[in-house]
Structure 1
Amino acid sequence: MSALRVLFLGGAGMIGSAVAREAVQRGIDLTVVTRGEHRRALPSDVRAIRADVRDAASLDAALGAEEYDAVVNWVGFTPQDVESDIARFAGRTRQYVFVSTCSVFGRPVPQLPITESSPRRHPVFGYARQKLAAELVLEEAYRERGLPLTIVRPMHTYDETTMVFPVTWTAIERMRRGEASVVHGDGTSLWTLTHSSDVARALVPLLGNAHAVGESVNLVSGDILTWDQIHTTLAQAAGVREPLLVHRSSESIGREIPGWGEALQEDFRHSILFDTAKLRRLVPGFHPTVTFSEGARRIVAWHEEDASRRVFDDDLSDAFDRLIRNG
């Protein structure tokens, strides 16, 4: 039996590179198209093509007449980013996979847990609003033009090379010094984190899976934590047994740290809990393998390996101090 032929449009970032490794391990014949140097190392068995995914002429020239069993778009963020794919791939692949985000679900969620049929709505948060608009364009193409669409939605994904926003290395160092870190809200809202390797183990079995065509699937771990637990788990991995945490409203944090305001106020302040029944039905036997306790240890260990990775932001630390002083 010939190997499944899969094309990644983009996919050299944190999640895409993890999925690429999992795909190659499962015997998939993988081609990755990127515009420049890969941000993350890809397996040597991957065929790499240089082209601008958003330049129709460049991409058409790079792909030629080749066909693929599945195409995964990692770099579609707006309707304009995906519109040319509809004509290009509607009759050229058995599955077109759009990587969206669980942030498309309306906040606050009217009923928990979130399922794939929960209301999607985001009039304010720009990233989620654009992803949702792209989803709607592709869903119309599935209904009207025969695009064999699968939408996958990762939730907050991390690996050892990333901190879990809004926790930063600055916060870790402050807690090591015995200084407080600022947590939005009262620290009890629920959140879901998923390690990139678990997203890969969930996504790869969906490739070439006819049962997934016409479906949207939330790629989440089900690992439910409060924001106090997230901060405390990272602190304990860094050797701080009882970190000092000070709670401030998302609005006040946004005033002091403007770059954080939209994400905290429109997304992170709300409790998020997912039903994973569809994922487990489409990928029998799936269960996450990396708990956040283990993930936090990996994050701290990676940062400890090289001093250049441990960036302390004095401006952010000063903003924390002002928030703590001013209540």
Structure 2
Amino acid sequence: MVMEKAREVLVIGGNRYVGKRLVTRLLAAGDRVTVLNRGSSSPPAGAVHLVADRNDEEALRRALGARAFDVVVDQVCYTPRQAAIARRVLAGRTRRYVLTSTVEVYEYEDSIAPVREAAVDPTTVPVDLGLPWEKPEFLDTHYGEGKRQAEAVLAADPAFPSAAVRVAHVLGGADDFTGRLQHYADRIRAGEPIAVPVDNQPATYIHVEEIADFLAWAVDQDFTGPVNAASHGLLTTEELCAAVADRFPDGETVWRAVEVGEVSPFSFTRSYGMDNSRATRLGFSFGDTRRWLPRAVAETLGRGD
């Protein structure tokens, strides 16, 4: 029996939440995994750990040395500058590059129907490397634009095969560091108002384990270009809060509709639905949000006391 050669996979980031789950899956599949990050924490046991600031092109080259990879999965590329550095450094070192992108690339789309990948074609997106991408406050308010332009940088080079996984809003896991479900839990438990837009729209979601499964599956594929990754079924803020409220029978859900001003997480003035048919045609089977939502809430909030 001829054994297949283990793949060499580089994961940039990969030290928390989705990334560490992805690395664990790749190692379990027999891949040789290298994780590159700034060294704030170690990757799962069994992975090679390289330390470098991916914003420093020369430091990145030194850390990688002469290494080459079958696939690169970039979990922490947020700007076109970072994408341009990655493309220059990794050109000729990998047969395929997978960017973890986001549903936020569709922030300017307003469609009743779930949006398809063609709604934002990265080959037509203008790139501005001169914007202050290095400033955290700018990046925080231009997250979707940063990802959109990062996709565009990669798509501009046909000799550098790449895919962009546009990830829905992620829920689940005891290590969810975002605090978004906790926001609802705190207010429901205390009976404090939950601020939502007057016209509150639903969105697409995916469980943290499912997106890790998807990325591990994507490593084994050869498709390029953007692909939406979202569980079946949209969720409203009301449905999210109902699942949270089940954990706190003595709590109270109080809504406050606002026309202008800050609203709660996962509250949207327009529909944030993604069409996942391309990924389905490629062979990935998604779960249903309403089936895994109670589990996601239980994982994130624990017993609720």
What TM-score bracket applies, with the shorter chain setting the length?
0.7 to 0.9
How many angstroms does 1:107 deviate by? 3.5
Structure 2 vs 1, CA of residues 48 and 223 (structure 1 numbering), >3 Å: closer, same or farther? Answer: farther
How many angstroms does 1:274 deviate by? 2.3
- Give the 3-state SS of the residue equivalent to 1:81 in structure 2: helix
Question: Which digits, 9 at most, give the CA deviation of each residue in 1:186-238, with x for residues without a partner?
Answer: 4752122212110011111111422x1x3211121124211011112112123
Question: Which digits, 9 at most, give the CA deviation of each residue in 1:245-277, with x for residues without a partner?
Answer: 2132262336xxxxx7xx88xx83222222211
- Answer whether contact 1:139 1:149 (CA < 8 A) is retained: yes
- Answer whether contact 1:221 1:288 (CA < 8 A) is retained: yes
Query: Are 1:92 and 2:93 matched, yes or no?
Result: yes
Question: Which digits, 9 at most, give the CA deviation of each residue in 1:78-97, with x for residues without a partner?
Answer: 11111122222222111011
- Answer whether contact 2:34 2:50 (CA < 8 A) is retained: yes
Structure 2 vs 1, CA of residues 5 and 22 (structure 1 numbering), >3 Å: closer, same or farther? Answer: same
Structure 2 vs 1, CA of residues 137 and 57 (structure 1 numbering), >3 Å: closer, same or farther? Answer: same
- Answer whether contact 1:71 1:97 (CA < 8 A) is retained: yes
Match of 2:76 in 1: 75
Query: Are 1:235 and 2:238 matched, yes or no?
Result: no
- Answer whether contact 2:102 2:147 (CA < 8 A) is retained: yes
Match of 1:268 in 2: 268
- Report the Cα distance in structure 2 between the residues aligned to 1:96 and 1:14, rounded to whole angstroms: 20
Match of 1:253 in 2: 262
- Answer whether contact 2:79 2:150 (CA < 8 A) is retained: yes
- Report the Cα distance in structure 2 between the residues aligned to 1:193 and 1:53, rounded to whole angstroms: 29
Match of 1:141 in 2: 157
How many angstroms does 1:114 deviate by? 1.4
- Answer whether contact 2:52 2:60 (CA < 8 A) is retained: yes
How many angstroms does 1:111 deviate by? 4.8
- Report the Cα distance in structure 2 between the residues aligned to 1:183 and 1:164, rounded to whole angstroms: 18
Question: Which digits, 9 at most, give the CA deviation of each residue in 1:292-311, with x for residues without a partner?
Answer: 1111111121775xxxxxxx
Structure 2 vs 1, CA of residues 252 and 140 (structure 1 numbering), >3 Å: closer, same or farther? Answer: same
Identity of aligned residues (%): 24
Query: Are 1:162 and 2:171 matched, yes or no?
Result: no
Instruction: State the one-letter code of the partner of 2:157.
Output: A
Match of 1:47 in 2: 48
Query: Are 1:175 and 2:188 matched, yes or no?
Result: yes
- Answer whether contact 1:221 1:287 (CA < 8 A) is retained: yes
Q: TM-score, normalised by structure 1?
A: 0.78
- Give the 3-state SS of the residue equivalent to 1:114 in structure 2: coil
Structure 1 window deviating more from structure 2 (62-71 vs 153-162): it is 153-162
- Report the Cα distance in structure 2 between the residues aligned to 1:42 and 1:167, rounded to whole angstroms: 26
- Report the Cα distance in structure 2 between the residues aligned to 1:44 and 1:302, rounded to whole angstroms: 29
Structure 2 vs 1, CA of residues 284 and 9 (structure 1 numbering), >3 Å: closer, same or farther? Answer: closer
How many angstroms does 1:286 deviate by? 4.5
Match of 1:202 in 2: 214
- Report the Cα distance in structure 1 between the residues aligned to 2:275 and 2:204, rounded to whole angstroms: 11
1:104-115 matches, cutoff 5 A: 104-115=105-116
- Report the Cα distance in structure 2 between the residues aligned to 1:187 and 1:24, rounded to whole angstroms: 45
Question: Which digits, 9 at most, give the CA deviation of each residue in 1:3-35, with x for residues without a partner?
Answer: 111001112131111211222222221110111
Structure 1 window deviating more from structure 2 (157-166 vs 273-282): it is 157-166
Match of 1:320 in 2: none
Match of 1:291 in 2: 292
- Answer whether contact 1:232 1:243 (CA < 8 A) is retained: no
**Which structure has the highest helix share of the two?**
1
Structure 2 vs 1, CA of residues 62 and 128 (structure 1 numbering), >3 Å: closer, same or farther? Answer: same
- Answer whether contact 2:200 2:269 (CA < 8 A) is retained: no
Structure 2 vs 1, CA of residues 60 and 302 (structure 1 numbering), >3 Å: closer, same or farther? Answer: farther
Alignment RMSD? 2.8
**How many residues are treated as equivalent by the alignment?**
284
Question: Which digits, 9 at most, give the CA deviation of each residue in 1:136-180, with x for residues without a partner?
Answer: 1111123xxx011111111111333337765434x4234224x23
Question: Structure 2 residue aligned with 1:215, among 201, 215, 225?
Answer: 225
Query: Are 1:19 and 2:22 matched, yes or no?
Result: yes
Structure 2 vs 1, CA of residues 106 and 187 (structure 1 numbering), >3 Å: closer, same or farther? Answer: closer
Structure 2 vs 1, CA of residues 252 and 51 (structure 1 numbering), >3 Å: closer, same or farther? Answer: closer
- Report the Cα distance in structure 2 between the residues aligned to 1:116 and 1:109, rounded to whole angstroms: 14
- Answer whether contact 2:111 2:271 (CA < 8 A) is retained: no
- Answer whether contact 1:135 1:151 (CA < 8 A) is retained: yes
Structure 2 vs 1, CA of residues 271 and 243 (structure 1 numbering), >3 Å: closer, same or farther? Answer: farther
- Answer whether contact 1:95 1:208 (CA < 8 A) is retained: no
- Answer whether contact 1:198 1:288 (CA < 8 A) is retained: no
Question: What stretches of structure 1 of length at least 5 have no aligned partner?
Answer: 255-259, 305-327
- Report the Cα distance in structure 1 between the residues aligned to 2:178 and 2:205, rounded to whole angstroms: 9
- Report the Cα distance in structure 2 between the residues aligned to 1:239 and 1:209, rounded to whole angstroms: 45
